[in-house]
Amino acid sequence: MLKHLFKEITRRPMGVACLAILAALYLGTVFSQFLAPYLPTDQDLSSAYPPPTRIVLEDWRPHVQVYEQVDPAAARYEPGEGETAPIKFFAAGDEYRFWGFIPAQMRLFQVEEPHRIYLLGSDGTGRDVFSRLLYGAQVSLSIGFIGICITMTLGFLVGGIAGYFGGKTDFLAMRLVEFIIAVPSLYLLIALRGALAERFEPEQMYLVIVIILSLIGWAGAARIIRGMALSLRQRPFVLAAEVMGQSSLRILFRHFLPNLASYLLVAATLSIPAYILAEAALSFLGLGIQEPGTSWGLMLQQAQELKVFTLNLWWLLTPGAAIFITVITFNMLGDVLRDIVDPRQQMVKR
Amino acid sequence: MAKPDAKADLTPAGQAVQDKPGHSGDWNSAPALVQVKNLKVYFPVYGGLFRRVRGYMRAVDDVGFSVPEGSTVGLVGESGSGKTTTGRSMVRLVQPTAGEILYRGRDVVGLSKREFFPYRKRMQMIFQDPFNSLNPRMSVEKILTEPLGIHFPRMSADERHMRCARLMEMVGLKPDQLRRYPHEFSGGQRQRIGIARALAVEPEFIICDEPVSALDVSVQATIINLLQDLQEELGLTYLFIAHDLAVVEHISDYVLVMHQGRIVEQASSEVIYSAPQHPYTRQLLEAVPRL
Amino acid sequence: MIKQEGTDNSPESGSDKLLDVRNLCIDFQVHDEVHRAVDKVSFSIAPGEVLAVVGESGSGKSVTGLSLTGLLPPPPGCRVGGEVLYQGRNLLECSPRELRQYRGKQIAYIFQEPGTALNPVFTIGHQIAEAIRLHRPGVKDVKAEIVKALDMVKIHEPERRFEDYPHQLSGGMQQRVMIAMALACNPRLLVADEPTTALDVTIQAQIINLLRELRERLGMSIMLITHNFGIVSGFADRVAVMRQGRILEQKDTSGILKSPEHPYTRALIGCIPVLGRKLHRLPTIESETRQEQEHGQT
C-alpha cells in the first residue's frame, strides 16, 4: 500500500513538490550539525545583529565579505573594501558529537577565525541565525512526528478497541474521550507545564511538551477511528476472521489497521502542522523550549523586540517563514494524499 | 417446534426421484451433525432518554431443525426473516438468547470462548458479498494462510504454501494467482476464494449465507456446482441460506422455510416443490420466474 | 402471456421506432490503454415495446443504457460513436443542455440499488416533488401529483408514506419510489438497469409485475437490462443477448427461449435453476473461467 501511495504521489506535480520540500527540510534536520557552521550557542559578542554576509567570488572561489561595524546602536555595518576571507569546504571546526555520540569536527563550510559567516545574519549576541534554524528544526520538525505517532497509536488502540468490542468497553472509552475533549487544553498545558517545570531539565522539557500535546490530541482521533471500526466490524471479512477463531488483538492489527491505514496516514499528515504550531506557540509564550535550547518558536519569541522592526532585521523572522513553509507543505501533502485515498475507496466499493 | 424426524414422509409417489449420487434414500437416514432446538435470538430495542430496553426484536423465535451429516439443508426466507441471524448464531457471531445448538450431540451454546475454539475448526461460513468478504489489504495467500496459522500452528511455511496452492486448485483457481489481491478478481472468483478460506481448516460443516445472491446467474451456476462437487469430494455438510427458492430447491436435500423469525414449513425439497403447505411457501414458489 | 394492447409492436415496422441505436461504439481509456466496452451495437425499440438486454457483468449492457442520454463520463476518458436516434433525433450530437431536456422527461432511468439512488436526508415526497418541479414546472398541485405517483406504484397510504425517509422503507419499497420518481414525468422510454437484482425473489416478482402493468397502462417503452433470463420471460417482447460488447442474438422472447440459436444464449438460459427440475449439475458457460479472468483484469 505504501508503495502504491508513493507511486501515486510521484505522479502528481504537487505531490512531488511537497515531498521534495519535506525531504530537504528533514535532511537538513538530520544533518544539521554537519550543515551548520556554528553551534547554536556560539556567540560573538563583538558584533550585534550583523546582516547576512555577502558572498563574493575571488579567483573563482567563494569568499565572504568582511564587514565593519559603523554604528553599534543602529546595527549598521559597512563592507570593508577588498577585505574578504575564503570559505573552506569540508573543514574542521569546533568539536561536536554527531547525533549525540559520534565525535566529529568536519563541517560543510567554515571561515577562518576571527571572520565569521552569517548566511542569514545573526542575533543580538552574535549567534548565527542559519545554524540556529537548523538546530531549531530538530525540535520543531520532530515534535510533530513523535507527537503524531503517540496520538495515532493511542487513537487507534482506544478507538479500535471501543469500536470492536462495543458495549460497555465502547461506553467507557467514549466517556473518557469526551472528558478529555472537554478539558480546556491550553489551560491544562500551561498548568502542567508550570507544575512540571521545576522537576525537569530544560532538555527534558521537550519530551514533556510532546507528551502533553499528544495526551490531549488522541481523543479526537479515537472518536473518528471508533466510528470507522464500528462499520468495519460488520464487514464480512472481519466476521470471517471471527468465525475462524482469530484472536481479537490480531483482528485489530491484521484486519482493522491495514484498512484504517490510509485514513491514519492522511489524518496524521494533516495534523502534524498543529503540533508544529503548538510548539511554536508554547515556546513563543515562554512555556516551551527554553534557552540554551533552540526551536523556531523560541527564535520567534526573541524576534519580538521592537528593534527587529525599526531596524528592519528581517532575518530574525526567518523561523516564521520556516514554520509557514513546513505547515503549508504538510497541509498540501495531506490534501494530495486524501485525493489519492478517497477515489480508491469509492472504487473498491463498486 | 416439530423435529424433522416427525415428518418422515418424504418420497410421495409420482415425484421426481432424487438422483444425486451419495444422497439417495432418506435425507434423515444419516445421524444429525447439528441439531438446533428452540433457538431464540432477541435483540433489545432501546428507547427513551436513558437508552432503556423498551422491548425486544424477535429475530429468531423458537426455531428448531436438524442437519444430517453429509446433507444440504436449505434455509429460505425474505430479508429480515431471521435466516442470517440463525446461521450466525450457530457460529457465535450472534449470541443466542435461549435454546440449544447441539453439535454431534453436544450443546455448544453455553461453552466458554476457549471451549468453543475447537468448534471453530469444524464449522465455517461463506458470506454473501464477494466484494466485502475478503480483506482488500491482504493478498490471497495471506487470506488463506490466516486460518491455517490459527488452527495448524505447527505447519511450516512451505506446507502452508502447498496447502494454499492445493486449496486454489480445489476451488478452480490457479495457484499462481496466490500473490494477487482481491480487487484483481471478479465476483465469482472472489466467492471461490471465500470458499477456499472456509475449506482451509478442513471443516465438516459450512454455513453458506446467501453465497450466490450477489452473483450473475451464469456465475451462480458455477458456484453452486463447485459447492456440490466439494461436498461429494470432502463429505461436507451444508446449511444453505438463500432467498431464492429455486436455488435452494436445487442444491438442498431438505428445505426450511423461514418467515418472521419462525420456521413455517420444513420438508424435503421435493415435497416443498410439489405440495407446499404454508401460504408463504406458495408465495415463494410463485415468485420464482418461469422460463 | 403478454397482453398486447392496441398497437402493433413488431420491430420490423421501421418508421415508428421510438429509439433506434445504430452501430453504437463505446471506448474507455484507462491510463494509456483503450478498452472497447461496446462494439457496433444496433437495436431499436418501438413505442410501447419492452426490449430486454441480457448479458453477464462486463458485457457492456449497462454502459449501453447510460450512453443513450450522455450519462457516461466525458471524453477523453470515454468516447461514444455511432448513432442514437430518438424519434429521429441523434442524441449523441445534442448539447448537454438539449440532452437534459430528454433525460428524465423523455427517457427515465431506474437502477439496481434503490438505497443508494435515493438521498437519505430528504423525504421521498420531497424527492419526487423535486423531479416533478424540474420537468413539469407547470404543475400546480405538486402534492396531488406525488400522491398520484405513489399510488401508481402501489404504495399503500401514499398520503402518509411520502413523509417517510428512504431508510424507513424496505428495498422493494425504495425501488417502487424510484419507479414513481422516474414515471412522475411521463417518460416515453424507461431504462431499467438491473431493477430487481438487489431484491428478494418475492419482491423481484412484484416489481416486475408492477413494471408490466405500468407499461400496459402508460404505453411506454422499457429497456430492461438484466443478467437473469428468468425475469425476461413473461415481460419482455424482444431480447438482445450481449456478450463482450457485442449483440450476439436478437429475437422475440418466446422464440429465443424456445430455440436459442447461439450456444451462449442456450447456456445463459440453461444455467438458471428451475423448480422441480432436479439436475445433478447445473449447465454452465464453459468458457466462464476464462471470461472471468478477463473481467478480473479490467
**Whether residue A31 has pLDDT greater than 50:** yes
Cis preceding-peptide flag for A52 (omega within 30 of 0): no
Hunting for cell 428448531 — which residue is that? B64
**Whether residue B67 has pLDDT greater than 90:** yes
Residue pair B75/B241 in contact (Cβ under 8 Å)? The answer is yes
Q: Torsion angle, CA of C148/C151/C157/C162, rounded to 10 degrees?
A: -60
Residue pair B157/B189 in contact (Cβ under 8 Å)? The answer is no
Predicted pLDDT at C278: 67
Please tell me the distance from the alpha carbon of residue A280 to that of residue A301, in angstroms, as a whole number: 9
The answer to whether A239 contacts B93, with C-beta atoms less than 8 Å apart, is yes
The answer to whether A241 contacts B123, with C-beta atoms less than 8 Å apart, is no
Q: What is the mean pLDDT of chain C?
A: 83
Q: A-B interface: how many C-beta pairs under 8 angstroms?
A: 64
Please tell me the distance from the alpha carbon of residue C166 to that of residue C6, in angstroms, as a whole number: 38
Cis preceding-peptide flag for B44 (omega within 30 of 0): no
Query: For testing the chain B interface, which of C209, C275, C294 should be mutated: the one with the most B CBs within 10 Å?
Result: C275
Higher pLDDT among residues A109 and C6, named by residue: A109
Please tell me the distance from the alpha carbon of residue B33 to that of residue C56, in angstroms, as a whole number: 38
Strand locations in A7-75 (E): 55-58, 61-71
**Whether residue B70 has pLDDT greater than 80:** yes
Q: Where are the alpha helices (DSSP H) in B55-208?
A: 83-90, 113-122, 140-151, 157-170, 187-199
A104 vs A42, A107, A332, B61, C150, CA distance in Å? 17, 9, 37, 78, 83
Predicted pLDDT at C9: 43
The answer to whether B124 contacts A243, with C-beta atoms less than 8 Å apart, is yes
Chains in contact with C, counting 3 or more C-beta pairs less than 8 Å apart as contact: B
**Whether residue C7 has pLDDT greater than 60:** no
Structure confidence by residue, pLDDT tens digits, B93-145: 999 999 999 999 999 998 999 999 999 999 999 998 888 899 988 999 999 99
- Taking alpha carbons only, the member of A284, A321, A277, A324 closest to residue A300 is A284
Interface of B with A in 185-244 (CB under 8 A): 194, 197-198, 200-201
Could you say which of A240, A254, A258 has the minimum Cβ distance to residue B127?
Answer: A240
**Whether residue B173 has pLDDT greater than 70:** yes
* pLDDT confidence band for C34 (50 / 70 / 90): confident
In the numeric block, which cell numbers belong to residue A29? 534536520
CB-based contact, B125 to chain A, within 8 Å = yes
Structure confidence by residue, pLDDT tens digits, A105-133: 878 888 777 777 888 878 777 788 888 88
Chains in contact with A, counting 3 or more C-beta pairs less than 8 Å apart as contact: B
Instruction: List Cβ neighbours of A108 (8 Å cut-off, separation of 6 or more).
Output: A34, A35, A37, A89, A90
**Whether residue A305 has pLDDT greater than 80:** no
